[in-house]
DNA sequence: CTGAAAGCGCTTACAG
DNA sequence: CTGAAAGCGCTTACAG
């Protein structure tokens, strides 16, 4: 505060006026004006680290994600966009932390709990139950699409099982019977919930479930690229599914690529659906019918939940009580990639 | 360091061992072992803000961008991916700052120069010359695709003019003559350079330039969505260009959407090219022929340049001497959205 | 209503 | 080779 002092005349009462808090009762109008003027003239900025040291608050939230590895990821992009929007509105900064593998790199997470951020949002973490327990208790965490229900950690998620159910039910309503599910990474909560929804929709329509129509792939679209091609090579001459329900938009994009290469038309020969409604869903031709997850809004909610926890930690030392997940609704978005099934059965062509 | 002290026996010599620097000569092996053990057992983390206060180094870089407003943006996404990769490798954190409008919000930039970051990367800024001058001198800046040559600020860019030239020359080599350029935001350096390259390619091929074939659009693809449609409405029945050279991949995506709606086929009726080679270039069908800017690498370079400046500020107080731009080469990526022009002239259809 | 002091948690010279 | 002190730039009680 020496700047303020040197410039004006008074001491570090400058702090009071710059913070604006209980100012009116504190400083005479004359001196405060002098301080304000000096501050703007010297272009003074209170040092954030000094302030953080005493206030124990950095006004910064951490965002941890493994999605940046292996190339851009539009799922994470939407989420981060929402997080940045909201953190800006709450006058918070956001610092991005990246890791490759949640369980292997969990030590890095601990390292971030050193006062540089007030709390951390974990984006689609896949930590073990043990790892969650070992997280430093003094730092608030919020998960988005977390893989575990953890006490004291709020999870922001969406109703994925219902989304899958509705999407598949929609396909069935158009007359589809042979519906393939190209899955996300098996074992991830999100992927499993889609499978459950898929099965439930089939069951409700009295369509027998066939594990042959479940094709394992990955939410990482690069990994998913060859999956359908390999399946077609193995199943040449067999019946082609009438529709492909894909685990996310990226998988659907890869599926459409492969179908195009095989000379099959979407949706005339086969319908394709995505999940998430990211940028990718609009840039394919035809555009994707997909199940919208409100990712931007979910990112915003994560920020709000985290800030709530941060405040709680500040005032009382009581840990979070409510660790109920916040569940967002999903919404069917109909676009051109879906049509009623062709009248004649299509066969898997030679590649 | 009270933790270290309470646990071990010695005082804040713990600092020495935890920092690892001149350790060997400093502490006896016995005490250091005790300290190390205590530290790991207590899961001690040196407080980052306290450390930053004395070291005047936060080990964090700021990344300022206006790209998050108005929805996800794959250009920024690629850049940020590179920045996060590199900052991780250099053990730096990255905090994201967002703003709407560079010149209006420049005060926000000043606010970030408060010790919370050691330096700031400005992503595609459009600051006025005045605004650049007023940036706090104690904080190092690096720009990516900066709009001005500013003393003491290194700019990371790519050879966009040459990229445009090569892309258009490639189209010409396939027989195209009527090549439309759907531009980025007029006034932005990147957009202007593409126009210059476009004109030079035409001139070298002795193809007369026609301002009627320059269609102003925006790097923001949402803004560009209606542009071609409106042009087609105005020019119904006129000759359709044989090829569309678009200012970036997002514009090309919008162009392809509009062409598809109009019942025109790419590349049979009209060829389309993008610029950047972002995610979008691969998710269109057909995939885009485009001019690759190595955005990931450019992001990495920006981090390295910034860190160099930070070190310089630390040691000497001499400001940066080299403010020469770092220019990355571009690379033509041929994909399916380009073909030789159709033999018969196509007309703009009724929408 | 205002000033002088203590302290946030570290690191860095500086004595022993 | 090790310990005690000073100080980074703020804010927060606490005296006047």
At B70 the pLDDT is: 63
**Is B12 near strand C, with its CB below 7 A from some atom of it?**
yes
Mutate to test the interface with A, among B40, B139, B283 (most CBs of A within 10 A): B283
Q: Cα separation of B59 and A183, whole Å? A: 40
At A20 the pLDDT is: 55
Q: Cα separation of A235 and B242, whole Å? A: 41
Q: Cα separation of B14 and B19, whole Å? A: 8
User: Torsion angle, CA of A291/A296/A297/A300, rounded to 10 degrees?
Assistant: 150
Which nucleotide has its C1' atom closest to residue A115's CA? C9
Q: Of the given ranges (A6-20, A60-74, B136-150, B246-260), which has the lowest mean pLDDT?
A: A6-20
Q: How confident is the model at residue A284 (pLDDT cuts 50, 70, 90)?
A: confident
Å between B90 CA and nearest CA of chain A: 13
Closest CA to A275 of A340, A333, A225: A333
- From the list B95, B113, B283, the residue facing A94 with the nearest CB is B95
Non-local (6+) Cβ contacts of A246 within 8 A are A181, A182, A217, A252, A255, A272, A273, A274, A275
Given an 8 Å threshold on Cβ–Cβ distance, is A68 in contact with B84? Answer: yes
At B62 the pLDDT is: 98
Find residues 186-245 of chain B whose CB sits inside 8 Å of chain A. none
Given an 8 Å threshold on Cβ–Cβ distance, is B94 in contact with A96? Answer: yes
Structure tokens that stand for A286 in this block: 């035809």
- From the list B97, B136, B284, the residue facing A285 with the nearest CB is B284
β-strand partners of A154: A142
A112 CB neighbours in chain B (<8 A) are 93
Average pLDDT value over all residues in chain B:
90
- A150-208 tens-digit pLDDT: 999 999 999 999 999 999 999 999 999 999 999 999 999 999 999 999 999 999 999 99
**Which residue shows structure tokens 């981090």?**
B303
Given an 8 Å threshold on Cβ–Cβ distance, is B68 in contact with A85? Answer: yes
At A2 the pLDDT is: 55
Q: Determine the average pLDDT of the residues in B47-52.
A: 94
Q: Cα separation of A186 and A215, whole Å? A: 10
At B221 the pLDDT is: 85
DSSP letters for A196-225: HHHHHHHHHTTPPP-GGGEE---SSHHHHT
Return the number of other C-beta atoms located less than 10 Å from residue A43's C-beta: 11
At A8 the pLDDT is: 55
Q: Cα separation of A112 and A118, whole Å? A: 10
Instruction: Assess contact for B218 and B224: CB atoms under 8 A.
Output: yes
B269 CB neighbours in chain A (<8 A) are none
Closest CA to A79 of A296, A350, A264, A318: A296
Percent of chain B exceeding pLDDT 70 equals: 88
Instruction: Assess contact for B221 and B187: CB atoms under 8 A.
Output: no
Residue A119 pLDDT > 70? yes
Given an 8 Å threshold on Cβ–Cβ distance, is B279 in contact with A74? Answer: yes
Closest CA to B109 of A283, A336, A45: A45
Q: Cα separation of B103 and B132, whole Å? A: 10
Q: Is B138 on the interface with A (CB under 8 A)?
A: no
Q: Tell me, in Å, how far CA of A287 is from C1' of C16?
A: 77
Structure tokens that stand for B18 in this block: 């935890």
Q: Cα separation of B162 and B150, whole Å? A: 23
Q: Cα separation of B101 and A43, whole Å? A: 21
Closest CA to B267 of B232, B241, B296: B241
- From the list A43, A97, A260, the residue facing B110 with the nearest CB is A43
Q: How confident is the model at residue B318 (pLDDT cuts 50, 70, 90)?
A: low
Non-local (6+) Cβ contacts of B28 within 8 A are none
At A351 the pLDDT is: 87
Determine whether B31 is exposed, middle or buried from the number of CB atoms within 10 Å of its CB (0-12, 13-18, 19+). middle
Residue B17 pLDDT > 90? no
A94 CB neighbours in chain B (<8 A) are 95-96
At B108 the pLDDT is: 93
- A202-229 tens-digit pLDDT: 999 999 999 999 999 999 888 999 999 9
At A27 the pLDDT is: 60
Q: Determine the average pLDDT of the residues in B83-102.
A: 94
Å between B209 CA and nearest CA of chain A: 31
Residue B341 pLDDT > 90? yes
Q: Is B75 on the interface with A (CB under 8 A)?
A: no
pTM of the model: 0.91
- A230-277 tens-digit pLDDT: 999 999 999 999 999 999 999 999 999 899 889 999 999 999 999 999
Whats the size of chain B, residue-wise?
Answer: 351
Rounded to a whole number, what is the largest CA-CA distance in chain A? Answer: 89
Protein side of the strand D interface (CB < 7 A): A 1-3, 12, 14-16, 18-19, 44-47, 50-51, 53-55; B 10-13, 25-28, 31, 50, 53-54, 56
Find residues 276-315 of chain B whose CB sits inside 8 Å of chain A. 278-280, 283-285
Angle at B141 between CA B312 and CA A51, to 5 degrees: 85
Mutate to test the interface with A, among B57, B62, B72, B90 (most CBs of A within 10 A): B72
Angle at B133 between CA B127 and CA B135, to 5 degrees: 80
**Which residue shows structure tokens 């089939």?**
A202
Closest CA to B17 of B208, B74, B6, B5: B5
- From the list A48, A113, A283, the residue facing B283 with the nearest CB is A283
Rounded to a whole number, what is the largest CA-CA distance in chain B? Answer: 89
Preceding amide of B286 cis, omega within 30:
yes
Q: Which of B 137-166 have CB under 7 A of nucleic chain C?
A: none
Angle at A283 between CA A279 and CA A285, to 5 degrees: 145
Closest CA to A92 of A309, A345, A294: A309
- B126-150 tens-digit pLDDT: 999 999 999 998 899 999 999 999 9
Q: Tell me, in Å, how far CA of B43 is from C1' of D4?
A: 27
Structure tokens that stand for B167 in this block: 């892309």
Residue A4 pLDDT > 70? no
Whats the size of chain A, residue-wise?
Answer: 351
Greater confidence (B34 vs B269) lies with: B269
Q: Is A96 on the interface with B (CB under 8 A)?
A: yes
How far is CA A21 from each of CA A4, A17, A18, A24, A42, rounded to the nearest angstrom?
17, 7, 8, 8, 22
Mutate to test the interface with A, among B49, B63, B100 (most CBs of A within 10 A): B49
A and B: number of Cβ contacts within 8 A: 125
Non-local (6+) Cβ contacts of A315 within 8 A are none
Structure tokens that stand for A174 in this block: 């158009």
**Is A12 near strand C, with its CB below 7 A from some atom of it?**
yes
Closest CA to A47 of A1, A114, A6, A103: A1
- Cα first-last separation, chain A: 73
Give A156's Cβ-side CA count (13 Å radius): 25
Residue B22 pLDDT > 60? no
Q: Cα separation of B59 and B219, whole Å? A: 33
Find residues 26-45 of chain B whose CB sits inside 8 Å of chain A. 43, 45
Closest CA to A80 of A252, A278, A350, A215: A278
Q: Determine the average pLDDT of the residues in A287-305.
A: 97
Non-local (6+) Cβ contacts of A343 within 8 A are none
**Which residue shows structure tokens 């609704």?**
A329
Closest CA to A221 of A265, A261, A257: A257
B113 CB neighbours in chain A (<8 A) are 45
Q: How confident is the model at residue B29 (pLDDT cuts 50, 70, 90)?
A: low
- From the list A43, A53, A110, the residue facing B49 with the nearest CB is A53
Q: Of the given ranges (A14-18, A99-103, B101-105, B221-225), which has the lowest mean pLDDT?
A: A14-18
A97 CB neighbours in chain B (<8 A) are 93
Structure tokens that stand for B188 in this block: 């932005």
- From the list B45, B72, B95, the residue facing A279 with the nearest CB is B72
DSSP letters for B271-336: EEE-SB--THHHHSSSPPBEEE--HHHHHHHHHHHHHHHHHHHHH--PPP-----EEE--EEE--T
At B286 the pLDDT is: 86
- A28-82 tens-digit pLDDT: 666 667 767 777 777 888 899 999 999 999 999 999 999 887 666 889 989 999 9
Closest CA to A72 of B329, B280, B67: B280
Which strand C nucleotides have any atom less than 7 A from protein CB atoms?
Answer: 1-5, 7-12
């Amino acid at each position: 505060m020496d700047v303020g002092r040197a410039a004006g005349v008074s001491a570090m009462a400058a702090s009071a006026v710059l913070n604006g808090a209980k100012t009116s009762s504190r400083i005479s109008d004359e001196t405060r004006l002098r301080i304000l003027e000096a501050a703007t003239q010297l272009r003074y900025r209170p040092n954030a680290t000094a302030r953080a040291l005493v206030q124990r608050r950095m006004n910064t939230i951490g965002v941890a994600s493994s999605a940046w590895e292996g190339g851009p990821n539009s799922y994470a992009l939407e989420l981060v966009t929402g997080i940045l929007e909201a953190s800006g509105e709450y006058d918070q900064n956001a610092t991005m932390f990246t890791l490759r593998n949640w369980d292997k790199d969990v030590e890095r997470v601990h390292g971030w709990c050193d006062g540089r951020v007030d709390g951390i949002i974990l984006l689609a973490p896949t930590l073990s139950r043990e790892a969650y327990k070992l997280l430093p208790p003094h730092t608030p965490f919020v998960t988005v699409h977390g893989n575990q229900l953890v006490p004291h950690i709020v999870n922001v998620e969406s109703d994925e099982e219902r989304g899958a159910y509705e999407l598949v039910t929609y396909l069935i309503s158009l007359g589809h019977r042979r519906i393939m599910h190209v899955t996300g990474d098996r074992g991830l909560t999100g992927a499993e919930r889609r499978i459950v929804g898929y099965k439930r929709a089939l069951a409700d329509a009295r369509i027998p479930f066939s594990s042959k129509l479940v094709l394992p792939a990955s939410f990482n679209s690069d990994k998913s690229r060859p999956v359908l091609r390999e399946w077609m090579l193995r199943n040449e001459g067999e019946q082609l599914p009438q529709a492909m329900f894909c685990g996310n938009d990226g998988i659907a994009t890869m599926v459409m690529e492969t179908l195009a290469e095989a000379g099959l038309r979407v949706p005339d020969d086969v319908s394709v659906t995505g999940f998430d409604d990211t940028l990718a869903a609009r840039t394919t031709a035809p555009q994707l019918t997909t199940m919208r997850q409100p990712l931007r809004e979910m990112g915003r909610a994560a920020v709000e939940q985290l800030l709530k926890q941060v405040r709680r930690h500040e005032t009382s030392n009581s840990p979070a009580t409510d660790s109920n997940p916040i569940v967002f609704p999903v919404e069917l978005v109909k676009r051109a990639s879906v049509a009623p099934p062709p009248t004649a059965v299509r066969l898997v062509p030679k590649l």
